[in-house]
Structure 1
Amino acid sequence: MNAERILVDGKSFANILYEVKSKLNEADLNIFLNIRTDTYVLNVPNKLDETQKRIELYTIAGADGIFIPCLSHEADIKFLVDKFQLPINIMAMPDLTNFEKFKELGVKRISMGDCLFSNMSAILKHKLSKVMDN
């Protein structure tokens, strides 16, 4: 897929989230909604400020956690963890892999993204190409 990735307007997404959370509550379904924001993935201008605005909107709308892939600056992580009660979840990045440091900063969940799958696929492709060559 070569579609351009865009960041949906925060208020619009918060409205959708509110509707989803309301329907879940009406159905008496207690599902943890870990809401992703791609402010760091897409490197938006003023990404820390934009992330804060989105967390505020998503908290009001019913988010149970916030996932911020590509957030790797320790000061930004600490700031967001300290500012918000919702659990802040991040993605392990090549330059950010110290799980003890994550714990120190207050991170509640760490995603490996598709890293393990990609590595396993690369190994499998390599081994299969060797089989095909023989």
Structure 2
Amino acid sequence: MSQINKAKHFASLHRSEDPLFLYNIWDAGGAKVIAEAGAPAIATGSMSMAIAHGYQDGQQIPLDLVLTIVSRICNTVDLPITVDFEGGYADNLSGLAENTSRLIASGAVGINFEDQLVNGDGLYTISEQCDRISTIREAAESANMPLFINARTDLFLRENDNNKYSGLVDEAITRAKAYALAGASGFFVPGLTDVSLIQVICENVDLPVNVMRIGTAPEKAELSSSGVARISCGPGPYFDFADGLKAAFIASKDR
């Protein structure tokens, strides 16, 4: 399947009646295992990829290494690949455009793109983030690639008090609508697990909504009923893998 056809197919997988489930991986070996298990698409996780290669999260892993890993994944499995692009590894629009072009050249057909100031305080203003999303869209169009831009808001991850989440929903909806006009393809609300609030967002946002599931909660059927079109797992699969590896070592070392 060509890269463009993979991009179109990936977009078509976002359906609330049957949400796309993405089990985030961090290397080509993991992608191969997930593909053989029947995954329709592959997603990387920034924290997982960073830690697995000896770095901390937050764009500490070099972009060159990220692109090498993505290229290896794309050469290993014949599935759409979406990459956790964090903040685009750039502080200016020209750098963001260049990095987007490089990522597309590596074979990716989708990205997660967050609105927090990576390793800084707070979020980009709506206007600033819209400029950044538009820059990515323009770079993708220049490459003739219908890149799936999953616009992530960090409103909920940045708020430690769950009781305040309901007060953030209106801003989340405002951001989603603005991001859509700027060229976003989807809207990602990691940290939000209250199904009633998730449903409010889904009902007021035209983009496919993505949530991050922690463990098995909320359940897929419940999220589907609320309007969610995509479910991802963040760093959970890596931590489960690490725990399993540790347990296997402990069980085997004295045999």
Q: TM-score range by the shorter chain?
A: 0.7 to 0.9
Amino acid at match of 1:62: G
Percent identity, please: 24
Residue 47 of structure 1: how far off its partner (Å): 1.6
Cα-to-partner distance string for 1:49-100 (whole Å, 9 max, x where unaligned): 2211211220110000011101112221111111111001101125833111
**Aligned partners of 1:123, 1:4: CA distance in 2, in Å?**
33
Unmatched segments (≥5 aa) in structure 1: none
User: Which residue of structure 1 aligns with residue 210 of structure 2?
Assistant: 89
User: Which residue of structure 2 aligns with residue 23 of structure 1?
Assistant: 139
What is the root-mean-square deviation of aligned Cα atoms in Å? 2.3
The yes-or-no answer on 1:114 pairing with 2:249 is: no
**Aligned partners of 1:53, 1:20: CA distance in 2, in Å?**
20
The yes-or-no answer on 1:73 pairing with 2:194 is: yes
Amino acid at match of 1:43: E
Cα gap change, 1:119 to 1:4, in 2 (>3 Å): farther
Amino acid at match of 1:78: Q
**Aligned partners of 1:5, 1:124: CA distance in 2, in Å?**
35
Unmatched segments (≥5 aa) in structure 2: 1-55, 58-118
The one of 36, 55, 71 equivalent to 2:152 is 36
Cα gap change, 1:95 to 1:8, in 2 (>3 Å): farther
Cα gap change, 1:6 to 1:128, in 2 (>3 Å): farther
Normalised by the length of structure 2, the TM-score is 0.48
**Aligned partners of 1:104, 1:26: CA distance in 2, in Å?**
37
Normalised by the length of structure 1, the TM-score is 0.86
Cα gap change, 1:99 to 1:15, in 2 (>3 Å): same
C-alpha contact (below 8 Å) 2:130/2:182 kept by paired residues: yes
Amino acid at match of 1:25: E
Give the aligned length: 134
